[in-house]
Structure 1
Amino acid sequence: MEQHAYRSPNGVEQRGALLLAAVEKRNIPTNEHVQAVLQTLVQWNHPAKESAVIQLDIPRKLWMEKLANAGQNPEIATNDHFTVGHVHISRSADVKPVQVHLRQLCKQFGFVLLFESIRPSADQNTLFWQIAMLPCDVFSLPDRLFRLTAAMERDPHVRIASLSHVHVVYQATTPAELLREPDVSHPFLASASVFAYVGQADAPLRYKRLGSAGMLVHSAETPASAVETLIYNHGYSLIEAAGFAFAPDVSKQDGLASLKQTQVLFAASSEQEAIWIAGTDGTLWKTDTPSRLFIASEPYDNTAKPLAPGQPLALIRSAAGQMRWLDSARFRQEVSARLSNRRTADTPIAF
């Protein structure tokens, strides 16, 4: 039996933020896996009241129910390109015209809207507009979703939590408010990977949305914007972008040198890849349990081991459901191999 969440002597309240990621070893989405993370957040009782964010795989079974209730074919939710959007609209906005504009944008970017609902957000601060759609074609889908997100957010009343064919993100002010979100408490909410962040505005550990639905948690000195630019302006994967960001001379070597000791924490999830890099000893902890792996900014239990500073731990999940864990050496090999397959390894290649 897995041990209960453990609180370190330092206490998360002294850090001002908490990062907790959990990956189910069989890569099978379950509600129990999601609840393990949510209950850990509750047990740690983090005091921050600025941002509580949780990223999950799209819960297909839950969406099959939503589509069926809306008179749509529920099997659409099993399509690999089925896209879900979580849009927050300011309560001060004239909501109807905003929705009309956002629907027009979806159509302009080549999407067919299948489902929409609107209700107060979990923390009551905004209106939560949830949509589901299919692309008319799948060409450059992640990039199109990134551009659509940017277009939507040009309206000052609109903030996108996620817009993706892979992940959904739920946001609230506190973990307690997040738990009141109807989807979060639904028994059909299931995921094989969970990425959670809780923090306050002045915390040294910060959250940033990566692309249209990725998550990036980092300390202030991390080149977070550079990673996003490499992914969405130049077509690199998260693994490649992280290699460039932390070893800028990588393309001029036969293989990657050790990551620079920048003393920054970096953790990100994008599409089917994730990476964690501890800044200093004890900034990230790994707990290996029989059914799942936890990586957190605090020890999950008394068997937790700190990640070596500056040495990456990465995860790649294939479309077929296979998982590959990359330690520092394998990460260097993977980045080197990917870059060698490009026409010019040291020149960013646009879409």
Structure 2
Amino acid sequence: MRRQIEDETLHAVDAVERDACALICSIRKGGQATHGNVKRTIEALARMGHRTGYINGEGDGVGIMTDIPRELWSKRLSRRGVRASLATDRNFWVAHVMIPSRARTRAQHIVDEISRRISEAGLHILYDGPGDVNRLVLGPNAEKNEPVFWQIAGINGQVPPQELERTLFRLQTHLEQVLGIHFPSFSSHSVVYKVQGTVEILRRYYPELR
């Protein structure tokens, strides 16, 4: 539900109150990324389930942003024959890509184009592949609209380190515009997992979150 707030000091966007979402923030004081913190955040979101919007019995969407799971990526790189320690390098980055369901048959072509443009921007790709998901847990609407989830990871090549995050963001916005895709995240710091459904669906859809 939206309600107009009468306050001339507010920007037009901020003058509309939005009261149908739940936001949870969980931070470790020491700044160390742990899977336990991810689990606690998901549990907190589950307790806020009464704030979820529902469409025909399905949750309208939920997501979580967390630090790049570097231990997971170290193992993933190692299985590809790539030096595992690169996942802990400050110049390591991860892109989560969602390709619309209507473009499913063209997914590989789109990924190839994404990879080409990433390389042209001065970044080295170490890994790309379909993300691990369990589509059996989706409701009818979510299953019909399910995008292709793809993960791309790499290391900085020719971009000045202080410009890496800015370069990733500019690439993200450009590729979304020209290719009609969506990046939940494209960063050297964080990743985003999102799904059309409830928090329980989120946890079951992405095995990485368990």
- State whether residues 172 and 178 of structure 1, in contact with CA within 8 Å, keep that contact through their aligned partners in structure 2: yes
1:91 to 2:101 alignment: yes
Which contiguous aligned blocks of 4+ residues in structure 1 show a shift greater than 4 angstroms?
A: 119-124
Number of the residue aligned with 1:136: 157
CA drift at 1:156 = 4.8
- State whether residues 132 and 207 of structure 2, in contact with CA within 8 Å, keep that contact through their aligned partners in structure 1: no
Structure with the largest fraction of helix: 2
- Cα separation, 1, equivalents of 2:116 and 2:26: 37
Greater relative contact order: 1 or 2 (C-alpha under 8 angstroms, separation 6 or more)?
Answer: 2
- Cα separation, 2, equivalents of 1:51 and 1:68: 33
Larger Rg: 1
User: Where do 1:24-173 residues align within 5 Å?
Assistant: 24-46=28-50, 47-48=52-53, 49-93=59-103, 94-119=106-131, 123=138, 124=143, 125-139=146-160, 140-173=163-196
Structure with the largest fraction of strand: 1
CA drift at 1:41 = 1.2
What residue identity is the alignment partner of 2:115? Answer: R
- Cα separation, 2, equivalents of 1:152 and 1:108: 13
Identical-residue share of aligned pairs (%): 27
- State whether residues 22 and 48 of structure 2, in contact with CA within 8 Å, keep that contact through their aligned partners in structure 1: no
1:177 to 2:198 alignment: no
CA drift at 1:59 = 1.2
Secondary structure in 1 aligned to 2:38? helix
**TM-score, scaled relative to structure 2:** 0.76
- Cα separation, 2, equivalents of 1:95 and 1:30: 32
- Cα separation, 1, equivalents of 2:24 and 2:66: 12
Q: Given the superposition, is the C-alpha separation of residues 76 and 63 from structure 1 closer, same or farther in structure 2, using an over 3 Å criterion?
A: same
CA drift at 1:137 = 2.6
- State whether residues 91 and 126 of structure 1, in contact with CA within 8 Å, keep that contact through their aligned partners in structure 2: yes
**TM-score, scaled relative to structure 1:** 0.46
Consecutive unaligned residues of structure 1, counting only runs of 5 or more, are: 1-13, 186-351
- Cα separation, 1, equivalents of 2:102 and 2:47: 35
- State whether residues 110 and 179 of structure 2, in contact with CA within 8 Å, keep that contact through their aligned partners in structure 1: no
